[in-house]
């Protein structure tokens, strides 16, 4: 490493100590690529590491997190979405560079665009109305993500001016956009809780969606439909002797699950000191040893229940109900308005959406149900495809989860609370720092 000429030996030592050491290994595990990170502890460092991996759409099959004093150590077992090891050298270099420079990107927002944050009561056809307003106001949607949960909707939409192709900076137009969208969100029954915010801020979209849903207190609301999947199992206990609160979670495995949980704990001002994450073919088992940022554990039953509710909500927000439809078509003004209007006219409701444009092509994903939240009839889906174009709108298969590891590679968690000694020993063994005592 080349040093600037004005640094003394102490300054160099501090830089060395605070620069994370990253090792990526494809030889140790037969089923996954190991990503090891050693670093001095700092605020949000775990979230940044997880964010780097999940923003690349990688699946975290196992993870071991431990900190001792001011030092922090992670081991992640990761695969691609097909369950295979990572072999693309450019991806491996990006991971190493992002983690080693202690410069994990804090945002995946779109620079040079105007961000619209929308929160309100979900209803059939709401997105169609939102996109129709934006088309009418000459706003081109570049990217958008929409989540619905317990009858509420949160959306972050990035737009540019339809004429100039730049961010919208005219105050009068911004006020007009806010007012029109707020009226749409209010409808007939959401006068108080509908919110619209226009900003130039660049933020991490999915973290911001969690924050918007959290601020909307969706975790306190009753389920919005019959037949909604049961809440994931979350338990919280205090380990008074060590001053930790222990969070144990068992849920269906899916992509970005760890990010959603760590993001929520971080935004609730908790610090993860130790954790173990393990998955089998369908289930994920997670155990976190946490404290407040001031070093204290959870202090009351009301706080314990709130943590449980918030983590359950964080897991459920991204769980997609309905048929997954993928739209790939040349981008043009009004496309989203037309597509979502077709959904509405055929009685379909959008439960989640991801909108993006690349090289003048629209690449959008929608999860749809019928108006009552039940699975959409295949004939309805086919009628929608015929209207939009069967070559442009396709029904996608369910998300493919990573391949299950062999029994020798998996350590299935069966207890809701481990002793601290066994947790540390298991982590050290998996890290290769001690030998097995069995």
Q: Encode pLDDT of 29-65 as tens digits.
A: 999 999 999 988 788 889 999 999 999 999 999 999 9
Angstrom distances, CA of residue 234 to CA of 17, 60, 274, 315: 36, 20, 17, 10
pLDDT value for 215 = 94
Predicted pLDDT at 397: 59
Q: Do 120 and 153 meet the contact criterion of CB atoms below 8 Å apart? A: yes
What confidence score (pLDDT) does residue 5 get?
A: 57
**8 A C-beta contact, residue 145 and residue 354:** yes
Any domain includes 211? no
In a domain, 357, yes or no: yes
* Residue 212: inside a domain: no
Domain assignment present for 75: yes
Number of domains in the chain: 2
In a shared domain, residues 391 and 420: no
Domain limits for position 426? 18-106+228-318+404-430
For residues 232 and 314, membership in a common domain is answered with yes
> DSSP readout, 398-413?
PPPPPPPPPTTT----
- Both 74 and 178 in a single domain? no
pLDDT attached to residue 40: 82
The answer to whether residue 209 sits within a structural domain is: no
Is 9 among the domain residues?
no
Q: Is residue 183 part of a domain?
A: yes
Same domain, 268 and 151: no
Q: What is the pLDDT of residue 230?
A: 78
Asked whether residue 302 falls in the same domain as residue 423, the answer is yes
Return the pLDDT at 231: 86
Pair 351, 369: CB distance under 8 Å: yes
Please name every residue paired with 249 in a beta bridge, in sequence order, or none if there are none. Answer: 234, 286
Which residues in the chain land under pLDDT 70? Answer: 1-18, 102-110, 188, 190-192, 224-229, 397-438
CA angle 198, 153, 340 (to 5 degrees): 90
Report if residue 12 sits inside a domain.
Answer: no
- Domain CATH code at residue 334: 3.30.70.260
Identify whether residues 271 and 410 lie together within a single domain.
Answer: yes
State whether 348 and 373 are in the same domain: yes
Backbone angles phi, psi at 67, to 5 degrees: -135, 145
Q: Are 258 and 50 in contact (CB under 8 A)?
A: yes
Asked if residue 162 and residue 120 are part of one domain, the reply reads: yes
pLDDT at 63: 96
Pairing of strands 348-358, 270-279: unpaired
Cβ–Cβ < 8 Å for 363, 143: no
Computed over its alpha carbons, how large is the radius of gyration of the chain?
A: 23
pLDDT score recorded for residue 254: 92
């Amino acid at each position: 490493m080349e040093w600037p000429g004005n640094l003394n030996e102490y300054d160099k030592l501090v830089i060395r100590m605070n620069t994370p050491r990253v090792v990526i290994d494809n030889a140790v595990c037969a089923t996954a690529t190991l990503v090891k990170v050693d670093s001095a502890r700092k605020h949000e460092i775990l979230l940044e590491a997880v964010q780097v991996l999940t923003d690349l759409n990688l699946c975290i099959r196992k993870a071991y997190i431990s900190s001792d004093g001011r030092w922090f150590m992670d081991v992640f077992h990761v695969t691609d979405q097909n369950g295979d090891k990572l072999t693309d050298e450019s991806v491996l270099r990006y991971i190493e560079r992002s983690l080693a420079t202690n410069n994990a990107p804090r945002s995946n927002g779109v620079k040079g665009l105007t961000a619209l944050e929308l929160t309100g009561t979900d209803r059939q056809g709401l997105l169609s109305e939102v996109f129709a307003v934006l088309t009418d106001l000459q706003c081109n949607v570049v990217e958008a993500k929409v989540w619905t949960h317990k009858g509420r909707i949160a959306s972050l939409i990035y737009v540019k001016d339809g004429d100039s192709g730049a961010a919208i900076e005219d105050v009068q137009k911004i006020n007009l956009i806010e007012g029109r969208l707020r009226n749409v969100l209010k409808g007939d029954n959401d006068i108080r809780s509908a919110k619209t915010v226009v900003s130039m801020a660049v933020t991490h979209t999915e973290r911001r969606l969690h924050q918007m849903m959290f601020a909307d207190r969706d975790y306190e609301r009753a389920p919005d439909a019959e037949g909604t999947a049961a809440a994931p199992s979350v338990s919280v206990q205090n380990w008074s002797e060590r001053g930790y609160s222990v969070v144990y979670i068992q849920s269906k495995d899916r992509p970005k699950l760890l990010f959603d949980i760590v993001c929520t704990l971080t935004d609730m001002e908790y610090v993860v000191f130790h954790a173990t994450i393990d998955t089998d073919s369908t289930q994920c088992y997670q155990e976190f040893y946490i404290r407040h940022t001031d070093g204290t554990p959870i202090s009351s039953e009301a706080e314990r229940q709130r943590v449980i509710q918030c983590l359950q909500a964080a897991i459920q927000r991204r769980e997609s109900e309905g048929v997954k439809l993928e739209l790939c078509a040349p981008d043009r003004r009004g496309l989203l308005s037309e597509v979502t209007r077709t959904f509405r006219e055929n009685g379909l409701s959008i439960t989640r959406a991801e909108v993006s444009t690349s090289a003048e092509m629209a690449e959008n994903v929608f999860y749809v149900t019928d108006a009552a939240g039940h699975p959409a009839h295949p004939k309805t889906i086919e009628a929608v495809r015929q209207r939009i174009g069967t070559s442009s709108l396709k029904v996608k298969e369910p998300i493919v989860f990573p391949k299950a590891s062999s029994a020798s590679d998996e350590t299935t968690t069966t207890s809701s609370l481990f002793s601290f000694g066994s947790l540390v020993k298991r982590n050290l063994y998996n890290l290769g720092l001690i030998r097995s005592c069995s």
